[in-house]
Structure formats: structure tokens, C-alpha cells
Amino acid sequence: MAWQRRILRVDLDAGTCTEEPLNMEWAMQYIGQRGLATKYLVEEIDPKVDALSPGNKLIMATGPLTGTMASTGGRYSVITKSPLTGAVACSNSGGFIGAEIKHAGWDMIIFEGRAPKPVYLYLENDHAELVPADDVWGKSVWETDEILHAKYQDPLIRIACVGRAAEQGCLYSAIVNDLHRAAGRSGVGTVMASKQLKAVVVRGTKGVSGVRDAKAFFKATSEGKRTLAENAVTGEGLPKMGTQVLMNVINEVGAMPTRNMREVQFEGASKISAEAMHEPRESDGKPNLVTNGACFGCTIACGRISTIDPQHYTVQDKPEYKHASGGLEYEAAWALGSDTGVDDLDALTYANFLCNEDGMDPISFGATVAAAMELYDIGAITTEHTGGLEMKFGSAEALTRAAELVATGEGFGRDLALGSKRLCEKYGHPDLSMTVKGQEFPAYDPRGIQGMGLAYATSNRGACHLRGYTVSSEIMGVPVKTDPLTTDGKAELVKAFQDATAAVDSTGLCVFTTFAWTLEDIAPQVDAACEGGWSPETMLAAGERIWNLERKFNLDAGLTKADDNLPKRLLKDAAKTGPAKGMVNNLDVMLPEYYQLRGWNTDGVPTPETLARLGL
């Protein structure tokens, strides 16, 4: 079947790597990847454990469709307890390493304990060993990748590693694979570094063990690819423009969080948009965007490969940045751009390169810089705190220098590495942190897209667009168009998106497929690949089970109904411009209905009846 039925357990304390069978009973309930690994985490750690202690565990997990011929079947996730939020963390990444882990014969890798000295895991099919990391500890992601590729002399090995930011304790550090794909959010890289685990190096040549019904699988995946190709978003918009296609769209509808969410529209949006990335530069006639790129098995190819103007001041001492590397996605462009008020495309690209090179979540980084800029604007911090750096809104110099400081852990970079919640608390203005459960907001203002406010507030991993992307419905009309300015029906919409996304995240497929696919398209692929009789209904039930499992972990970890909230700014300060002018987010209207639909009590706790129904 499409599961490899094997787990690699790595005891970092003892320095051992041990094989054990996959719990197939759990696989039938939780599918794989996000769901199944969360089940393992919940069963194996104390929810109240310090996220950066040896008692926390880090799980790299694939889904049953990872490494198969299913379109976008290259995903893997990193599951742990987050040091940023104290909640469950599950960070999803593309690229090629997920498929490589699967092709090496493993469904997931569980890391436990803490190594006495820095190490990395070398995994080649059935051979697994921990190797001293003296030569790469203290190096950036890109340096580590280069050193390890040179060491093993195999261009086909795949590497996921942390950079200097994680080693320095930046609470929103990522695990970067394939140079510029990342398990980016919630500080999963910080947990990895705390275990003195620098990298995971994988080479797999075994392939996927098989699918349940090869003929049906070929038919279902072929039909799925045809649907993706014929869809306007997945067949045209994303390949050509990438996720940056949203920059001007979201700005026009008045939901572009600007200058730490003081405003909902950014006057410089067109200068940092997908369209701007295509425009030739004056200096050399070349555009910022070189080409698009795809992850393993992907027929969408939304990835961006970009360069910086070689004459730009940001690359004078980093000539390697003149060459093509990972380019701006929408979330990075927003966080580094409109949220900080910076409209310099090269500066944003440079800051994004630094986030890739040293493993920092660009959403949390950019939003934290934006919070620092507001603190500077009101006089709560000065150049005495920042080491002479003027943290002014719109300053490309402040943005790029801040990225350098966080990467190396120097000076004011240590404050910025705390994330905006702890930064704003430290300087006496907690209300200026635009976070939920301690995690920074993505690129949609919930005053202009009401459903996203509820999705953010109730997200199990803190503010996140990829836990319930109601933008698809409220703005893009997929699968049905709903009014972004009303609360009517949004509780039901958010729940449906959350449950479906939890299921998709557990398959090994990319959630971007759902711009074209529904579970009616995905379930036949899972069913043909796996035993268990998978239908849209059973997949949705698995998604609901996963959501409630994550919720229960968070409650046991100490989170409460009070954490299902939004910053006061979004509930009290009305939008000043755009279609939502005069509006705040009406979370108070939506949240009680959401709890009721979830089968939770008025304190947001799943009832005994709900837990019993879901087998929890």
C-alpha cells in the first residue's frame, strides 16, 4: 500500500536509530502526515512540556500520497510543540525531501531527547546514522547544504537543516529544505536546533512500496492533473504569477494589512506585486523574476526564482544574491513589504533571501519588524535600543539590517528574534502585537474578510491562513462565492475549510490543489492508493478528528477560550479605507456559533459526546 509502514525513531540522547512498525490502526483514523504525526505527538509527550526541553519531540512525517505520481505529492510536515505559541505546531513544506524520505522507505522520523553535541542524521534507504555536525554547526542553511553535498558527492541527496537563527534561539526559526522551501511557521526550526540537530540528509532509491489499485490510481491521478491544468488558478494564474497574484487583488478589496495593521490598503502594493516582478529593470533590462519552479510531482509550479538588481546596495557585499534563488511569495512580500511600509522590491527580495539562507519565517519576521517600527514611531523604543538603527516605517535599510541582525543574533536582533508578542510585552505595549496565540498574522486583514478573523482566532497553531483559507470563498469564489463583509454563514464555512484542510494536509498533497479540487477529486486518489475505503465523507470525518485532537492537546497544554481572540485593533479600530471602511471584525458574533457547530461547550471545550463520536 502507499504507506511504507515504517517509522524511524532517533534517540538523540543515546545516539541510536531504531525501526518500528507504523501504527496502522491510527493510520486508518488519521491518514498520515499532519494527522498521524499529531496522534504520535499527543500520545508521547506531556502537553505542558517546555517546547525547548529534551522532553519535546520533533516529528518529520510524510503522507500516503507523498512520493507517488499524484500531482503535488511531494509534501511533508514537521510536528512538535511550538516554542512561539506553546500550542501544537505542524509546519508543511514542499520541495523534494518529503518524497526522498518516503523513497528511502519511511513514513516518518521521530526525534527525541537532545544530542550531547551537534549532530545531523544521515539516512540512505535502510541505513541511518547520527554524524557529528562540527563542520556545519554555526553555518547558514546555504553553507550547510553546500558542505554536505560536497561531502557526500551525490547531487541527488536531499537536505533539510536549520540556520544560524535557530541556533541563536530565534523563536520563529524554520527548517529549510532544498535551499528555499521551508517548514516555516511556529518555530519548528528552533526546536530542531534545541536538540542539537543541525540537518537531515536523505537519499532514497526504494520508491513507494505500492498502491492498492494501480489502474484506479492512474485513472484518478490523471483526471486530477487534467482538472488542475484546466482550472484558471492552478493552470494559469499560479504558474505565471505565483501566489503574488494576490497582492493587487487583496489590496483592492481593502484587506491588505499595512504598517502593523494600522491600515488596510498599501499605496506601494503595485511596486512589490507579481506584475512588478515581471517588469524589466532599468539597470540591466532584466526582471526580478527569472522563472517559476515546481516541487516534487507538482503540475502547478507556483514557486518563484528571482534575482536582485546587481547595482542595488543590498547585494554589494553578497554577490551570490545576484544569482537566481528562491523568489518572493505573497506572504513574504506582504510581511516584508506592506506590513513594514517598504515598497522596494529588491530590498524585499534580499530580506527574503536572508530568511531562506538562515532559516527564518518571513511572516513572523516581517510582522515583528512592523511591530518594532510602530514601537519606534510612538517612542517606546529609540536608537539606543536598536543600536543606532532608525526603525521607521518604509525604511528598506531598517528592514534589511534587521534581517541580518536576527540571522546572526546580534544586538537588537535578539529582541526581534522574540517575535512580536514578547517584543511588545517587553517594551510595555502588548496591544501592538498583531498575533493570535503568539503567532503573527498572515496577509489578510479580518476587517475586510470577516471569515478570516474567525479562522485566525480559532486556528490551532495560532494565526494562520492555511488552516482555513476562507479567502478562497470570500474573495475568489471557490468553491462558492460568499460576501467577505458579512458574518452570515462564516462559522459553518470556517469549520468546513478547517476540517477539509486537515484531511488534505494529511495526504501528502499540497493544499493549493484545492483551488481546483474538492474532496470528490482527492478521495478517489487516496482510496486507490490506500486500504480503508476512503470517501469524501470519511476523509472529512478524519479532518474533524484531527482538528479536535489538536484542540484537545492545546487545552491540555493550558490554552483556553481566551486564546481564541484577535488583537484589540481589529475588534475596535475600524478600517479607514476600502470596501470595509468603518468596519471591525465581528468575532463576537461568529465565535459562539462556531463553538456550537464544533460540538464544543461555551468555553470552547469539546463535549464528551463529540469526543466519543470522533473516537477521541
Mean predicted confidence (pLDDT) in 122-151: 98
pLDDT, tens digit, 9 for 90 and up, residues 156-190: 999 999 999 999 999 999 999 999 999 999 999 99
* Dist CA 555 CA 87 (whole Å): 9
Lowest-pLDDT choice from 106-110, 271-275, 282-286? 282-286
Mean predicted confidence (pLDDT) in 42-46: 98
Mean predicted confidence (pLDDT) in 448-466: 98
Q: May I ask the CATH class of domain 6-203?
A: alpha beta
Q: What residue ranges do the domains of the chain occupy?
A: 6-203, 230-252+258-433, 445-613
Query: What rounded mean pLDDT belongs to the chain?
Result: 97
Q: May I ask the CATH class of domain 230-252+258-433?
A: mainly alpha
| pLDDT at residue 39, as a whole number | 98
pTM of the model: 0.98
Residue 323 has pLDDT above 80, yes or no: no
pLDDT, tens digit, 9 for 90 and up, residues 550-583: 999 999 999 999 999 999 999 999 999 999 999 9
The pLDDT-based confidence of 314 (bands split at 50, 70, 90) is low
| pLDDT at residue 312, as a whole number | 77
CATH topology of domain 445-613: 1.10.599
Amino acid at 479: P
pLDDT, tens digit, 9 for 90 and up, residues 206-228: 999 889 999 999 999 999 999 99
| pLDDT at residue 324, as a whole number | 76
The pLDDT-based confidence of 320 (bands split at 50, 70, 90) is confident
Is-same-fold flag (6-203; 445-613)? no
- Cβ–Cβ < 8 Å for 566, 257: no
Q: How many CB atoms lie within 10 A of CB 301?
A: 16
Partners of 183 in beta bridges: 175
Mean predicted confidence (pLDDT) in 281-304: 95
Reading the block at residue 540, the C-alpha cell is: 472529512
For residues 80-104, b (16+ Cβ closer than 10 Å) or e, as one string?
A: bbbbbbbbbbbbbbbbbbbbbbbbb
- What does the CA dihedral 598, 599, 601, 607 come to, rounded to 10 degrees? -130
- Cβ–Cβ < 8 Å for 186, 85: yes
| pLDDT at residue 1, as a whole number | 81
The pLDDT-based confidence of 309 (bands split at 50, 70, 90) is confident
Extract the runs of DSSP E, i.e. beta strands, from 5-51: 6-11, 16-21
Residue 310 has pLDDT above 90, yes or no: no
| pLDDT at residue 316, as a whole number | 63
| pLDDT at residue 355, as a whole number | 97
Percent of the chain's residues with pLDDT above 90 = 96
| pLDDT at residue 153, as a whole number | 96
Residues 6+ apart with CB under 8 A from 416: 365, 368, 369, 372, 402, 405, 406, 423
Q: List alpha helices for 459-598, DSSP H.
A: 471-474, 490-505, 519-529, 536-557, 568-572, 587-598
| pLDDT at residue 313, as a whole number | 63
| pLDDT at residue 252, as a whole number | 98
Residue 95 has pLDDT above 80, yes or no: yes
